[in-house]
Structure 1
Amino acid sequence: MNISFLNPPFRGTYNREVRFQAVSPQKALHPPIMLGYAAAICRDAGHKVDLIDAPALEITFDETIAKLKENSPDYVVMLTSTASVESDGGFAEAIARDTGAKTIVVGSHATAVPEDTLNYGFDIVARGEYDYTIRDIASGKKLEEIDGITFKKAGKLIHNKDRSLIQNLDELPFPAIEFLPNEKYYSALYKNPFTFILAGRGCPHGCIYCAGPQLMSGRGYRFRSVKNVVAEMKDRKKRFNLKSILFNDDTLNVNKKHILELCDLIIKEKVDLPWAAYSRVDSVDAEIAEAMKKAGCFLVKIGFESGCDEQLKTMKKGARATIEQARKAAKYFKDAGIQIHGTFVFGMPGETVESIRKSIALAKELDLDFVQFSVAQPYPGTEFYQYLEKNGFMKFEKWSDYLDEKGCIEPIFEYPNLSKEEMEGLLKEAYREYYLRPHYIAKAIKQRLTNWNLFKTSLRSAWSLLQYIKD
């Protein structure tokens, strides 16, 4: 079979395979690594595959169709998202018309609302972890016998049982990033170009807004052997001109024994590839931070999320995720010499103007290297979405309402005491208050005068952010 894997064109540098699906106000473009996994499995099964990342290639709908025709695909596996599903469905219909291929749609949105997703023009929904699902479809197995898919037959909806999560992640091939334009992926946070590596999948924590663990990877952390992870790091360094990697696990250091073993092996094998990772405030201590630094970690992304302990409880961050613990985590990483990118989310249940201002105040107190403020996105299938829907707080008519005209996150809910307009205003106020402080500007200039790569990427990010906050 000929199989094309596709991240479709939509809103310029739109990111689908991320936690907040949008065009980043600070400009970043991330690789669709899960498509890469499925492509590698199908390639190893003997199928002819290609992987087209239209946003990275900056190609139009017509140009994407032309590239698809070059592979004469039997199936096109399309990544979709909440805000883009209407556009993606229309494109699926064009693919069927112009190439004759069947379309298989993947991603958290399709997993959450498969019947609704099919109605936009796709042939099959592959729900949850779809690595092996695509292979099974391509092998000619009867659709009725394939776990984890939803489709229609003679007008009747067929919803097969869920596919079990993959337990032995070491059995998976490395993602087929050789098909991707790796030089195109960038962020002001990393050394560019960069790529993703997953040291594991899933998250044991219960945050109500995070779609990945609730819909795709599960409430539990399945990790690869450190030997397997380091082998991928060495392969990426040898074969591709990458300057850094981001471990895109929800929390790389959630298991102390595993993170210390990983750091030890990276050092022992002299991998010498800078890396960044996600952390929680309650998953780090001085020993972990120091080990990560020695192994090449230059930046961590921490979900501080709120400056109010009551809000952290409401979003179910966990008993040990407190403001006091946030201060400790920031100090551990600062003392180790690791930069911190902190994220804060506005609009969780119980949020008020006062609690948002506490979050802005905490960000300034922690004095992080980078911050990201966002209005929460209630993705279908999450506990947060269900809460808003149940209480009548949703204020949208169609999925595309999740974005504004620039492709940035648009609030699609409001509370009796907190309007959409107030959240939007506070979001821009937060960015202005944080990044336009004389102290921060002086520190940022000093950092960038000694780091040419950071200086170049920061110019693009800073210009984009300034355009966003001035509107």
Structure 2
Amino acid sequence: MANDKWVNLGTRPIKKIRPAEFPDISEMMKEPTKAARNPDAVDVLLVNPPSPDGGVWIRSQHRVGRRSRENMLWPQVSLARMAALLHPDYSVEVVDAIALGMKWDEFEDLLEKKQPKFYLTQVTAPTLTNDMYGIFLAKSKGATTIAFGTHVTPNTVNTMNDYPAVDFVLRGEPELTLRELIVAIEGNTGQNPKIVSLLKETDPAWEPVSPQAIAAGDFSGIKGLGWRNAGKPALTPDRPFIPNLDNLPLPMHELLPLDKYRMPLIKGPYAFVVPSRGCTAGCKYCIKHVSYNYTVRLRSAENVME
């Protein structure tokens, strides 16, 4: 030990600390969503998401949403009609996770398979956080997310502030707003003369939104929409009601799991025929007025029987 030489390590010069260089793989992680889409991919996925507790919940375009005590499986005719507004110009699929008994892990696998460009979902107040989980999943996989229903129509700004994954909200009667939004984002491809005629009949002042406005992120020209203006929720003017319901395409019932729908006192599957919109009654508890107000519009008998 006596012959050992001790070295004072404290006399060595201390090297300068290298500048921090943390990797940013954000753009790299976007690449999978830009890759070639698989054969099962769709343009628009219209969704009644899984339930919050594994039970049967009722969601619809004009209902507040509730847990079904009677285990009534509610046909998603509103989603089927919205799909009809987009078909055949865009590929569409309806997913009724409630009727299919689909759990969230299965639903996430489905999103991976379908790779939707647009994710449209029902949103109700009793299932709000649950429904937003579906939006979060879809957004994380590259989809443009769109919400509609009786919760987001009167509460658009608060909902978009609380849930940043929501890109757009369809306020009020949603069909034409959905169609116009997707056509605009897709670069005015898929313009359909019948739909253009319906848009002009509904709103004589209607003009298609310019591609330049959409490229600049300006959606203010699409009525009935909640959108993000420089990141902040913004509302466009209300869209007028469709005056003649006969001019709407018939719902694509073939997209629904019709064999799954059940209700008490009816043996076997069933579906809805919706002959009208709106109600003149002033019931304080009824949420239908949020979507359709108090004006009644009827389909013709011929159109109902078609």
CA contact 2:46–2:121 (8 Å) conserved in 1? yes
Match of 1:3 in 2: 44
Cα distance in 2 between the residues matched to 1:158 and 1:19: 24
Aligned residue for 1:64, secondary structure, equals helix
Aligned residue for 2:58, secondary structure, equals coil
User: Among 188, 196, 218, which residue is 2:293 paired with?
Assistant: 218
Cα distance in 2 between the residues matched to 1:30 and 1:125: 23
User: Among 180, 184, 190, which residue is 2:260 paired with?
Assistant: 184
* Mapped pair 1:68 → 2:111: yes
CA contact 1:5–1:39 (8 Å) conserved in 2? yes
Offset from partner CA, 1:198-241 (integer Å, 9 cap, x none)? 111111111111111x211220210011001011xxxxxxxxxx
Query: How many angstroms does 1:90 deviate by?
Result: 2.5
Cα distance in 1 between the residues matched to 2:145 and 2:286: 27
* Mapped pair 1:86 → 2:162: no
Letter in 2 for 1:67: L
Letter in 2 for 1:22: R
Letter in 1 for 2:155: V
Query: How many angstroms does 1:15 deviate by?
Result: 0.9
Going from structure 1 to structure 2, the CA distance change for 1:24 and 1:219 (only over 3 Å counts) comes to same
CA contact 1:13–1:23 (8 Å) conserved in 2? yes
Offset from partner CA, 1:33-89 (integer Å, 9 cap, x none)? 111111111114x00111100111111122112223333211100101001111111
Letter in 2 for 1:109: H
Cα distance in 2 between the residues matched to 1:64 and 1:180: 16
Aligned residue for 2:87, secondary structure, equals helix
Cα distance in 1 between the residues matched to 2:105 and 2:168: 23
User: Among 174, 193, 197, which residue is 2:273 paired with?
Assistant: 197
Offset from partner CA, 1:95-121 (integer Å, 9 cap, x none)? 111x20011001011101011221223
Cα distance in 2 between the residues matched to 1:189 and 1:122: 39
Larger Rg: 1 or 2?
2
Counting helix residues as a fraction of each chain, which structure ranks higher? 1
Cα distance in 2 between the residues matched to 1:139 and 1:164: 19
Match of 2:304 in 1: 229
Match of 1:413 in 2: none
- Report the aligned-residue RMSD: 1.6
* Mapped pair 1:37 → 2:81: yes
| Long gaps (5+) in structure 1 | 232-471
Give identity over the alignment, percent.
32
CA contact 1:85–1:117 (8 Å) conserved in 2? no
Cα distance in 2 between the residues matched to 1:166 and 1:190: 33
Cα distance in 1 between the residues matched to 2:80 and 2:265: 23
Cα distance in 1 between the residues matched to 2:287 and 2:75: 18
Query: How many angstroms does 1:19 deviate by?
Result: 4.0
Letter in 2 for 1:182: L
Match of 2:236 in 1: 160
Aligned residue for 1:187, secondary structure, equals coil
Match of 2:35 in 1: none
Match of 1:327 in 2: none
Query: Any residues of structure 2 matched to 1:317-356 within 5 Å, and which?
Result: none
* Mapped pair 1:23 → 2:67: yes
Offset from partner CA, 1:301-320 (integer Å, 9 cap, x none)? xxxxxxxxxxxxxxxxxxxx
| Long gaps (5+) in structure 2 | 1-41, 185-208
* Mapped pair 1:113 → 2:155: yes
Letter in 1 for 2:44: I
Cα distance in 2 between the residues matched to 1:190 and 1:223: 26
Match of 1:172 in 2: 248
Match of 2:172 in 1: 128
Match of 2:284 in 1: 208
Going from structure 1 to structure 2, the CA distance change for 1:103 and 1:79 (only over 3 Å counts) comes to same
